[in-house]
Amino acid sequence: MADYLKYFSLQGKKAFVSGACGLIGREIAEALAQAGAVVVALDIDEAKGVPLEKSLPNGGSVIFRKFDITDLDHLKANIDSLVSEFGRIDIWVNSAYPRTADWGARVEDITVDSWRKNVDMQLNTYALSSKYAAELMKANGGSIINLGSTYGVVGGTFGIYEGTAISPVNMIYAAIKGGVVNMTRYLATYFGRYNVRVNSVCPGGVYDRHDKTFSNNYNKHVPLQRMAKPEEIACAVLYLASDAASYVTGEILMVDGGWTAA
């Protein structure tokens, strides 16, 4: 009989998580570390990143490195430096969420400059970091996971924002996450010959102290009738990072409580 739990072990793996100080990124770092990986937490926020090395409550090895994923001109060299320091990349997770100060503008108010900057900061960083990581994984294989979104596969549901101070989903965000989804599929087909798996996790709304009106509006559209917990997104990433998903690539895994099924 197969020992199925061993397939979820990441013992001996080197995992890199961009945006590791964020709501979801932190949970991903903890999940991969608990599974046995040496996790390199990448983020620009040193104030949160340095304590992260010591604050995981359930053990695991996490090492923080200040890393600006939006520095596209030096991105390849910076990733190469990580490999020089840590030896190899087995798992690369893109969960960073950089954005400009005018993020959330209405469609009518979006400027060309804002569009370009946000596409660079989010879509282009995910695409290029995935490409560079995949190239470095050619010899030994590996797993790349990109954080997408339900809004990368469906349009907006604007009624959930009525009566709240929360801005409706951004048009730029929808374009970026749609790009992440199909970029993931493309890289999966291109690098599959090297046993490099590329997948995307697409969360629905993740609860982060949202006001009650928004939560109630949102929950009415979800078959499970609630928003996601950050750890539920991390569990999906852990699965795709592990050998339990060794025959899964090009998958767009919806973790949305049934939002896109309804």
- Inform me whether the pLDDT recorded for 215 exceeds 70: yes
- φ and ψ at 57, to 5 degrees? -70, -20
Across the chain, what does the average pLDDT equal?
94
pLDDT band at 163 (very low <50, low <70, confident <90, very high): confident
Q: Residues with Cβ < 8 Å from 20, sequence gap 6 or more?
A: 26, 28, 29, 39, 41, 42, 43, 49, 52, 64, 95
126 among known catalytic residues: no
Q: Residues 119-148: what's their mean pLDDT?
A: 98
| Closest to 8 (Cα-Cα) out of 243, 168, 252, 254 | 243
In the chain, % of residues over pLDDT 90: 84
- Inform me whether the pLDDT recorded for 256 exceeds 60: yes
Lowest mean pLDDT among 44-53, 140-149, 251-260: 44-53
pLDDT at 56: 62
Rounded to whole angstroms, the Cα distance separating 200 from 180 reads 8
pLDDT at 78: 98
Domains of the chain: 11-257 (3.40.50.720)
Its pTM stands at 0.95
pLDDT at 34: 93
Lowest mean pLDDT among 156-165, 233-242, 248-257: 156-165
| Closest to 127 (Cα-Cα) out of 202, 197, 201, 182 | 182
Residue pLDDT, tens place only, 35-45: 999 999 999 99
Write down the catalytic residue from 132, 173, 218, 239.
173
Burial label for 84, CB within 10 Å (0-12, 13-18, 19+), is exposed
For β-strands 91-94 and 61-66, DSSP reports them as unpaired
Residue pLDDT, tens place only, 169-193: 889 999 999 999 999 999 999 999 9
